[in-house]
Chain A
């Protein structure tokens, strides 16, 4: 089994602060592996534990410092890692990102059975790159996955969570799964794993090495364009209900809700 795991380095969105002029302060914001991608790596490593001949390749597209998340993936149990990096990739939207990643997987990783991604990245929150990669590679996908089981053969059994509950589906390989939060937690990198990550060379490819043209990548290769970014309207703190006991507080609150016409 050959697995490709796509990971992304993201700012920890819980750290984001604002200036008085409503511009985002990016300095001092910690960079982390996208939490959903941690589940993707964990899922791949679990398949490898059950099928020891599995090879896991972690891939990321980002600036040079995005190597950190590849090292983390290796420390968690991936075997090798590929960094897709080029200044010309800056400003890529989900179309350009999935096109570039699909090209890199096809050209530089080659034969694979399964690609595992996170369902969303917590910065962009689009949930579009995984499906875009699958489309570009012409392979099936299962989104909103919570578990991937490989028992040999040419398929995987995937549990996915949709509005109506949990589905179990069987996907033919090669295919792609996008992971939600799973019922198991991603492991912490071990000391042995961290040492392995430090000595594993990371392959790096830019636009030309992937056979891409300038108009296919970055801002030029992106059909969408951010015309405006602004801070959302902040919810103001409302009213604290002061009452001598819980019963009184409940009655005052219900009067307020009747006044707001949400209760009759």
Chain B
């Protein structure tokens, strides 16, 4: 196992062709891990079609990756489980990194378990903290049991040690403008006939007026107490005044007031914005599991006994239909803006 060296990040691109935030977060944490491993190389794997990769290379370099391993093939222009898995497995077998980090996005969580399964190695899912333990092993910590328990997981006997990491939990790097990492091509053999899943169409049901909740720094979320779909109008106004997104509890999604992609909680999404404003949300444990990682939680609820107040940084006992418009009005009157980034 000693021939396995170096820390890899599998870079991911957004649909509008940028390197994702979580990729940069992973480069940053990899540099910290590398310091604890006497400076092992931080390498970023970039999979691409035959497009120009200059911008991607620049971003990854400036985030601080020592090296970029470029796998370029016309069949990688669009994501497929099969060929991403094939390409990444072949690259790992050739270069033998000791640690491989992947963003816990829908794409990362789609291919990473296949890669780990094929390479007979361990993969720790959806981690929120990474470190190197006294034996030099990757110690990957993750929430489990609906956020009730944290577990630190090691992979002692197989390599590489793999983990997917939840976006927006770890810090972003300072971008070092003008730095350029060494680029090395990795050649792989890919066969397009292995692709068994064909994309027919994209229906962007969730790209409504507001931002995606998993990317937002500010989320205004509504619960059953919003009463109707129209009730969310005041939350949209508040979100707009702060440049945030609108989320919802399960009850509102089940009632058809909001789509499932906006649901926060155990059967929805886990979010960690800077500010989470819970409006008329009682705070069931399933909801709390999805949002207690937020920096500041504001609860607005009529019921002073609501469980949400138990985790709230600031609570206002009152009617959302009075408090929320008052907040929006005050923000607009003072022309306040949220500090993002």
Contacts and interface: CB of A to CB of B under 8 A. Distances in A.
A140 B337 contact: no
B274 interface: yes
Contacts of A131: 109-111, 113-114, 117
A172 B82 CA distance: 13
Interface in A30-48: 35-36
A170 B200 CA distance: 7
Interface string B127-170: 00000010000010001111111111111111000000000000
Interface stretch (B27-35, B176-184, B307-315): B307-315
Interface in A188-244: 222-232, 235, 237-241, 243
Contact of B275 (A99, A132, A251, A262): A262
A13 B146 contact: yes
A167 interface: yes
Contact of B314 (A125, A157, A228, A253): A253
B260 A161 contact: yes
A261 B261 contact: no
Contacts of A235: 292, 297, 310-311
Interface stretch (B56-64, B225-233, B322-330): B322-330
B210 interface: no
Contacts of A171: 196-198
A202 B127 CA distance: 37
A263 B244 CA distance: 12
A105 to B, nearest CB: 14
Interface string B95-121: 000000000011101111110111011
Interface of B: 15, 81-82, 85, 105-107, 109-114, 116-118, 120-126, 133, 139, 143-158, 196-207, 212, 214, 242, 260-261, 263, 266-268, 274-275, 284-286, 289, 292, 295-298, 304, 309-319, 322-323, 325-327, 329-331, 334, 336-339
Given A126-B125, A167-B199, A263-B338, 19 more contacts: A13-B148, A95-B117, A98-B113, A123-B144, A123-B146, A128-B109, A140-B81, A140-B82, A163-B214, A166-B205, A169-B199, A170-B200, A226-B151, A231-B148, A250-B326, A250-B329, A262-B296, A262-B338, A263-B331
16 contacts: A16-B145, A99-B117, A123-B145, A125-B146, A126-B126, A132-B117, A157-B200, A161-B260, A164-B15, A165-B202, A170-B198, A175-B197, A227-B152, A247-B330, A258-B336, A262-B274
